[in-house]
Each structure stands twice: as structure tokens, then as C-alpha cells.
Amino acid sequence: MRLEDVAKLAGVSIITVSRVINSPELVKPATREKVERALNELNYVQNPVARALASNKIGIIAVYIPAAIDLTNPFVMHFVAGISEVLSKHVYSFLIRRELDNEHLCDGYIATGLLKDEVKQIYQYTNERNRPLVLFGHTEHPDIDCIDVDNTLGAKKVTQLLIENGHRHVAMINVDEDKDYTLDRALGYRRALEEAGIDPQHCPQIIAVNNVEGGYGAMKRLIVEHPEVSGVFCATDTLAIGAANAILKAGKKIPADLSLVGFDGLGHDLLVRPNVTTVHQPVYEIGMRLAETLIARLNGSQKRVKELVPPDLILRDSVARVNG
Amino acid sequence: MRLEDVAKLAGVSIITVSRVINSPELVKPATREKVERALNELNYVQNPVARALASNKIGIIAVYIPAAIDLTNPFVMHFVAGISEVLSKHVYSFLIRRELDNEHLCDGYIATGLLKDEVKQIYQYTNERNRPLVLFGHTEHPDIDCIDVDNTLGAKKVTQLLIENGHRHVAMINVDEDKDYTLDRALGYRRALEEAGIDPQHCPQIIAVNNVEGGYGAMKRLIVEHPEVSGVFCATDTLAIGAANAILKAGKKIPADLSLVGFDGLGHDLLVRPNVTTVHQPVYEIGMRLAETLIARLNGSQKRVKELVPPDLILRDSVARVNG
DNA sequence: TGGTATAATGATAGCGCTATCATTTTGTAA
DNA sequence: TTACAAAATGATAGCGCTATCATTATACCA
């Protein structure tokens, strides 16, 4: 079933059929009708591969999520859902790529979850293929469109919340990964301390694997080794869930005995008690913005996009005044 | 950058270059080396669209998830992750489609989350495009490869668990949706009751919207209207979380005052206390099996696949003996 | 009625690759 | 050396569509 078959039946040339499909306004109504009848009769279905080859447009965006990243992670899911919403409006499909192999059946790339080394790699990869690239994070790279959460600001805000509630002995449980957000959140934490005149040296920072067990173990250690600490900032909500379990297990109350804050805000609130005060990362929105940015590029935009999205505090039930 | 450029540089024909890329064993080592040098020097990158057009193979599987289904649902993402694992081994990419429009840039289709009406629609759609289709669920359709959880069996098992623990007054909170799994779980529930000699008429079944709030409201009603009930089966874990909240809010204990069981088993266990006994749906594995089935079809298999995967009970802390 | 502008349609050459068949080269045995 | 088979390479025709330019039909005005 090709344009040719339809053309033959309708008694026109194939290009006229193509026009009826792609720009019907260019075809005289009488002819158009004739062609449409033929299209219907033959139940014509276009071959998008052939169109892609001829027009150099495929209608697919590749979302690159390295194989090391767990797809079922809510962070990833919300990100992908945001992308999906925007792309479907623009008649783009998207595919999820887990590695950078020879294929590149797409018009452009969105990437997330990259380690620093991987940024150079995908930059080269997309350049070789002459396709635009937009990134979640890594805003330090001048030649790539990037959008990120302002991790430093978020960490600072939430640490300040602890301080404002009278906590002078605070601690941070951070993630054991070579990613910017780790450093940025640690930086925000330190800045909040310094601005409040608290010596960061006196405020422990524990490194843990980013899962519930990691948070649990770190908090357990913290309770034993630093009994003076009254407020804890966990670099992720996942860590915070583990930490909360450890606190309760130790027979302490949240927030009466220990105040706890997290970072992510991806819906755990419905599931955990007490609800942990946290920083909401607008991941869904960032997915949307990145998709919009990429589409703008595909439509010819030359504007370099660099955005730092300020996160919001979500105040819940896990912070109390010291001795209050 | 085309095969032609490489061929010119290497002093061979384009087809020889194509062979070096696709079936190097057919090329004499000396020639192969010459071509490989040229490939490297020019940094050749293949155009997969052209290859797809010429070979009628694209290397993409479309996963159709209707736009009505929330992508951030863990059910969906585990399913997708299972598909992803298998496909990446077979050098296929996959793309997520949210609606059935004119595009069909793929070798075959995997679909989930379909309403009954939508099954016919996608069946016709894929037939017109001459592409194989495999489905999660809807095993009643004789002409489609389908794999499903045995929902009836799972619901029966978990209801029996309540009965075995002495609960004679049980209730079910079911989902308000026109899907098979709804009916099947209700059926399993009823069968378990009947086999135990309990009249289903005396065991309430409440319909709720499938979210935490829905479960909460339904449970609240149940406590007021049916105080005799001592064991509740929720058709989804999401409902069970809401139900658990309602029970605790009412000042009752789980499982001392009320036993509670769910259905899904998708990792909420880490987040909710007490952990709810549930039925584990092997969604990830079903994603894998569907992907394998589709690939078998693409490789020429003619075997109709119909599988009902038996789910497992996950025994946790939310069921106790009556008056025990 | 003729001439010109404009609308409508058509012919044809790719897009970059693979499949098919044809040709050339190489290897082996008589 | 010759003959023949097998291995290696090449020429060419698509795959089904769109872009580009050429041609033909129609409209409009003087």
C-alpha cells in the first residue's frame, strides 16, 4: 500500500496524494475529495520511515537515562511524565535509551542522571549526529542547554528552617555519589550554618548509600556518636525515610526529640508518618521545560537556555522548636 | 557523511562498506581493515532511518500506554522497566506512545492499561499496519498474544488467608473501573467465601476511586456501617494504604482490631507501617515475558501465547487471628 | 479575445541504505 | 597451464516518501 496505489485509483499523481495528506489547503477541493475517497477505500497508512528519510524529520525524541539509573525511581517517573505531556502536544513520541550505541533514530536528545564524565560523552555523541541536546542538571557546561533545580538554595532554605527553630546542633546525611546535587546540597547546608554563625566543623556530615537502609544505618550511627544533635537534614527523602525509621526504633519521637528534614518531595508524604518536612523538586516541570526547550531548538531557536529552578519548602510535621 | 564518502576514501564500493558494518565476516581481512580505517578517519555514523527503509526493520518496539494512565504509577514503571531489560539485550529501543495516531515507527506493539473497547481498536490499528501485538491482560481475546496475572487466584488466596485466620465477617473494597482485574478480583473473593461456606451476600463490597483518599473514605464508611467486619480485602495496595490510615485514625489497631490485606505488592512495604499483607503482581516479569513474546513473533514464531501468571502472597504484619 | 498572473498539478531526483544478482578475483586440482 | 568452484566484490534497483522545479489549467483584466 503506497502513495502510488492511491494515486492510481484516484487518477492523480503521487505528489498530489502526498499534498492531500500533508497540506490539503494546496489542493483543489474537487481533487482533494477524489483523493480522500481513494485513501479511505484503500485504507491507506503512511510509512513514517520513508517520510523520515525524505524529510529528515522523525518525530521522536530520545530520553537518555543511563542503564545504572533505576527506571522505577519516582524521580525518573515524574521527569518522564513531564516530558511526555509536552511532547504529546507537539506530536512527538519519545523513546527511552539506556545506552549510547549506534542507533540514533530521533530528532533530539533529553538526558538525565548523568555523571560528570558522561556529559562529555553524550555531548560528543549528539554532536556527531548533529542533533540538539538538553540536560537536566550540569548547568556548568556552557555549550549545552541545561535546566536544574537550585539544590544549593533548597538545602540552604531547609537547613535555615532547622536553625530558625533553635537547632544549633544539626547534622547532614548525604549521598555517596559523584553528582553535582550532592555537592550543591552540602554547600547550601554549610552556607546556612555559616550565615548563622555556626561552625560547620562542629556539625557532622555522614555519607550513606541512597536508599532506605542507608538512611537507617546513618541515623543509627548519628544517634550513638552525636547525641547532642537535635536536627537532621537528609539529602534525599529516601534517606529521610530510613532515618525516620531509625529514630522511631531508638525509642525517640519526631519531632519532639529530633527534628528531621528531607529533600525531593516526590509524593512519599502520603505514605510516611510522621510526614517529613522537605524540599520539593519540580521534576515534572523540569521535564516539561526541557521538552519545550528541545522543541524550540528543533524549530530553529538559537537561544542558549540555562535555568535554575528554585525549589519550594514543603512544611510538614517533622520539625519542632528545640525544647519546645 | 554517507557510505559513499567512506567507499571513496577506502577505494571500494559502497556495498563493501555496508558489509564491513553489517557482516564483516564476508569481507577479506585486508579489505576490511582498509574500510575500517576509512570509517574511523571520517568518523562515520550510520543513518538508521535509511537502513530501516531499505531493510524494513527499525529496531523499535512501541509500548502503548493510553494517555489516561498515569505514567508515574509504579505499576506502569515496573512494567516498562521489565520490557526495557529484555529489549536492550536484543538491541531494540522502545518508545512510549500515549495515543494511536498516524505514526507507527516501530516493529511491533506492547500494550497495557486498556479498557475493553480499546482492545479492538489497537487490534485493528496494528493489523492495518501489519505489526505484531502483545497485551498485558485481556486474555479472553483469542487472536492476540496475552499475558496476565491470575487475578482471580490471587484474590482467592488472600481472602482465604483471612478466613483461615478465623475471619467470618470480611469485606472487600474494590476499584470503580471497567477493567477485567476488578471483576476477577471480586470473583476470587466471592469464590473463597463460597468455598468456606460463607454467604457472600453478608460480606459487603464497597466501590471506591483507586487512590489513597478513595481507600480512606471507603474504610471510614465500612467501620461505621459494618462494625462486625474484622477482615478487609482491598483490591489494590493504594486503597489499602488509605484504608490503613482510616483504621488508625478511628483509633483502632492493625491487625489487633482489624486485619487488612491488599493486592499489588509494588514496594510500598518499605514505606507503610504496619506493613500490609498483599498479593504480589509480577509486573516486571510480565513486562519481560511480553517483550520476549513479541521478539519471538518478530523472528517468525507462529505460536499463540496465552499465559496466566500466578501471583504470590506476601505475608506481612497486617493479619491476625480473630480474638487472637 | 489575448495576455498575464496565479493556482493546481505533475515529473523527477534524491534521502542513505540493503537486497539481489552479476562480475571479478582467488584457490585448488588435474 | 587450464578448468572450475568458491570467495570476494561490485552494479544497480529499489524501499516509499518529500523537495524542487517544470508544466498545465484557471482566473482575471484590458
Predicted confidence (pLDDT) per residue in B30-39, tens digit: 999 999 999 9
Q: What's A269's DSSP letter?
A: G
How far: A23 CA to C7 C1' (Å)? Answer: 15
- Percent above pLDDT 90 for chain B: 70
pLDDT tens across A206-224, in order? 999 998 889 999 999 999 9
Write down the pLDDT at residue A179: 77
Per-residue pLDDT reduced to its tens digit, A85-126: 999 888 888 888 888 876 668 899 999 999 888 999 999 999
Within 13 Å and on the Cβ side, how many CA atoms surround A270?
17
Predicted pLDDT at A105: 81
Say if the Cβ atoms of B72 and A70 lie within 8 Å.
no
Q: What is the C-alpha separation between B266 and A144, in angstroms, rounded?
A: 37
Query: A71 to chain B: which residues are within 8 Å by CB?
Result: 77, 80-81, 84
Q: What is the mean pLDDT of chain A?
A: 91
- DSSP assignment of B168-193 equals -SEEEEEE-S--HHHHHHHHHHHHHH
> Is the bond into B200 cis (omega within 30 degrees of 0)?
no
Give the model confidence (pLDDT) of B270-309 as tens digits: 455 678 899 998 999 999 999 999 999 988 888 999 999 9
CA A13 to chain B, closest CA, distance in angstroms equals 22
Partner residues linked to A231 by β-bridges: A170, A259
What was the pLDDT predicted at B1?
83
CA distance B197 to chain A (A): 37
Band of pLDDT at residue B268, cut at 50, 70 and 90 = low
pLDDT score for B270? 47
**Nearest CB partner across the interface for B50, out of A53, A81, A102:** A53
Per-residue burial over A234-271, b = 16 or more CB atoms within 10 Å of its CB, e = otherwise? bbbbbbbbbbbbbbeeeeeebbeebbbbbbbbbebbbb
Decide: CB of B51 under 7 A of nucleic strand C: yes
Q: Which residue's entry shows cell 518499605?
A: B270
pLDDT the model gives residue A102:
66
Whether B243 contacts B219, CB under 8 Å: yes
CA angle A222, A226, A230 (to 5 degrees): 85
Confidence at residue A273, expressed as pLDDT on a 0 to 100 scale:
62
pLDDT tens digits for B82-124? Answer: 999 999 888 888 888 888 876 668 889 999 999 888 999 999 9
- Per-residue b or e along B51-64, where b marks 16 or more CB atoms closer than 10 Å to that residue's CB: bbbeeeebbbbbbb
0.85 exceeded by the pTM? Answer: no
Residue A270 pLDDT: 47
> In this structure, are residues B59 and B92 in contact, taking their beta carbons and an 8 Å threshold?
yes
Nucleotide nearest the Cα atom of A19 (by C1'): D18
A110, A61 contact by CB (below 8 A): yes
Question: Other C-beta atoms within 10 Å of B49: how many?
Answer: 23
pLDDT value, residue B75: 83
pLDDT band at B71 (very low <50, low <70, confident <90, very high): confident
- What is the distance in angstroms measured between the alpha-carbon CA of B144 and the sugar C1' of D7? 46
Contact A59 B103 (CB under 8 A): yes
Are the Cβ atoms of A88 and B98 closer than 8 angstroms? yes
Q: What residue is closest to C15 (Cα–C1')?
A: A54
pLDDT < 70 stretches in chain A: 102-104, 266-273, 324
Chain A: nearest CA to B154, how far in angstroms?
Answer: 24
C-beta atoms of A93 and B96 within 8 A: yes
CA distance A212 to chain B (A): 8
Residue B319 DSSP SS3: coil
CA atoms within 13 Å, Cβ hemisphere of B39: 16
Selection from B3, B40, B293, B4 nearest residue B146 by Cα: B293
Nearest neighbour of B49 by CB, restricted to A49, A77, A128: A49
Q: What is the pLDDT of residue B301?
A: 87
Which bases of chain D come closer than 7 Å to a protein CB?
A: 7-12, 14-20
In angstroms, rounded to a whole number, what is the distance separating the alpha carbons of residues A35 and A44? 11
Per CB-CB distance under 8 Å, the chain A contacts of B84 are 71, 96, 98
Q: Which of A58, A77, A93 is nearest residue B72 as measured by Cβ atoms?
A: A77
Shortest CA–C1' contact from A27: which nucleotide?
C8
Residue B149 has pLDDT above 60, yes or no: yes
Q: Is the CB of B26 under 7 A from strand D?
A: yes
Higher pLDDT among residues B322 and A150, named by residue: A150
Kindly tell me if the per-residue pLDDT of B178 is higher than 80: no
d(CA B324, C1' D28) / Å:
98
CB contact under 8 A, B128 and A88: no
| Window 233-252 of chain B: CB closer than 7 A to strand D | none
3-state SS, residue A323: coil
Judge: B104–A45 Cβ closer than 8 Å, yes or no. yes
Rg (C-alpha) for chain A, rounded Å, is: 26
Nearest by CB to B104, which of A48, A99, A241? A48
CA of B104 to C1' of D24 (A): 37
- Taking the CA of residue A201 and the nearest CA in chain B, the distance in Å comes to 33
Whether the beta carbon of A53 falls within 7 A of nucleic chain C: the reply is yes
Contacts of B96 in chain A (CB under 8 A): 80, 84, 93-96
B67 contacts A43? CB cut-off 8 A: no
Mark yes or no for CB contact A105/B48 under 8 Å.
yes
- pLDDT band for position B14 (cuts 50, 70, 90): very high
Report the protein residue whose CA lies nearest the C1' of nucleotide C16.
Answer: B50
In the prediction, which pLDDT does A111 show?
97
Which candidate in B58, B245, B248, B271 is best for mutational testing of the A interface (most A CBs within 10 A)? B271
Q: What is the pLDDT of residue B271?
A: 53
Nearest to B94 among A48, A95, A273 (CB): A95
pLDDT tens digit string along B183-200?
Answer: 999 999 999 999 999 999
Residues 6+ away with beta carbon under 8 Å from B24: B32
Q: Closest nucleotide to A13's CA, by C1' atom?
A: C10
pLDDT for B210-228, tens place per residue? 988 899 999 999 999 999 9
